[in-house]
């Protein structure tokens, strides 16, 4: 049996772990908003994990690799991609609701069009990969800036940045190695990237302690 589905299955476990950890943290918060980063990121991870699970089922031969099934798989991913676009817009365009709506609506329209217009699996995967790159690159840059500016100490944005870059490399490598029988290398690189993502929820950034101390000092001063 090929090692490829094994790496894919391990990746799916990590992705579901990410989603459920994020949702658990969101539920533990005193106040819940659907615009909270843990909720939005959690929906994105759940969408990605569900889509990857369909991939595993197809690779194991449980499901047939047909255009219709790939379209369903991409539509599941579509939900996560839209939430990620919204998260990026929320961070960079917090006070401009109109621009948020235009960008999210435009991306959703382009994504849906590609899914329903593509006439083959190869074309579908190629165009979707291009669309995903358009959201992954800004997403990676966003988390790099969060880490650089020492924001959101509850989340290790530096590890998310490293994980995102690693996953992006794996995605591009997939097209280089597509016909070489070495796709397991791409999945292994992906697995490493998702491992960085998961560790970002448990390994605090170096500035987390400083941020906590500053909040504590501020509370003491106000008293």
Please report which confidence band the pLDDT of residue 49 belongs to, taking 50, 70 and 90 as the band edges: very high
**Of the candidate ranges 2-16, 64-78, 105-119, 187-201, the one whose mean pLDDT is the lowest:** 2-16
Using the predicted structure, report yes or no on whether residue 214 has a pLDDT greater than 60: no
CA distance 133 to 41: 17
Mean of the per-residue pLDDT values for the chain?
Answer: 88
pLDDT at 206: 86
Could you tell me the domains of the chain? 4-218 (1.20.1070)
Q: Confirm if 77 and 47 have CB atoms less than 8 A apart.
A: yes
The tens digit of pLDDT for each residue in 167-187 reads: 999 888 877 776 777 788 888
pLDDT at 212: 54
pLDDT at 222: 39
Phi, psi of 78 (to 5 degrees): -55, -40
């Amino acid at each position: 049996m090929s090692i490829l589905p094994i790496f894919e299955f391990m990746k799916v476990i990590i992705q579901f772990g990410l989603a459920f950890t994020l949702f658990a943290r969101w539920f533990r918060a005193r106040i819940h908003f659907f615009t909270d980063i843990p909720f939005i990121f959690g929906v994105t991870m759940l969408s990605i994990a569900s889509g990857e699970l369909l991939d595993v089922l197809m690779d194991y031969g449980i499901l047939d690799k047909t255009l219709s099934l790939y379209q369903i798989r991409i539509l599941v991913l579509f939900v996560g991609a839209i939430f990620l676009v919204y998260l990026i817009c929320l961070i960079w365009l917090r006070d401009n609701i109109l621009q948020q709506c235009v960008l999210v609506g435009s991306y959703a329209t382009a994504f849906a069009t590609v899914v329903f217009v593509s006439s083959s699996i190869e074309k579908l995967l190629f165009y979707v990969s291009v669309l995903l790159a358009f959201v992954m690159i800004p997403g990676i840059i966003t988390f790099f800036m969060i880490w650089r500016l020492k924001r959101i100490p509850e989340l290790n944005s530096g590890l998310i940045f490293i994980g995102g870059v690693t996953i992006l490399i794996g995605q591009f490598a997939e097209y280089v190695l597509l016909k070489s029988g070495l796709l397991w290398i791409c999945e292994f690189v992906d697995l490493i990237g998702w491992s960085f993502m998961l560790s970002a929820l448990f390994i605090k950034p170096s500035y987390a302690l400083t941020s906590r101390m500053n909040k504590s000092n501020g509370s003491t001063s106000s008293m």
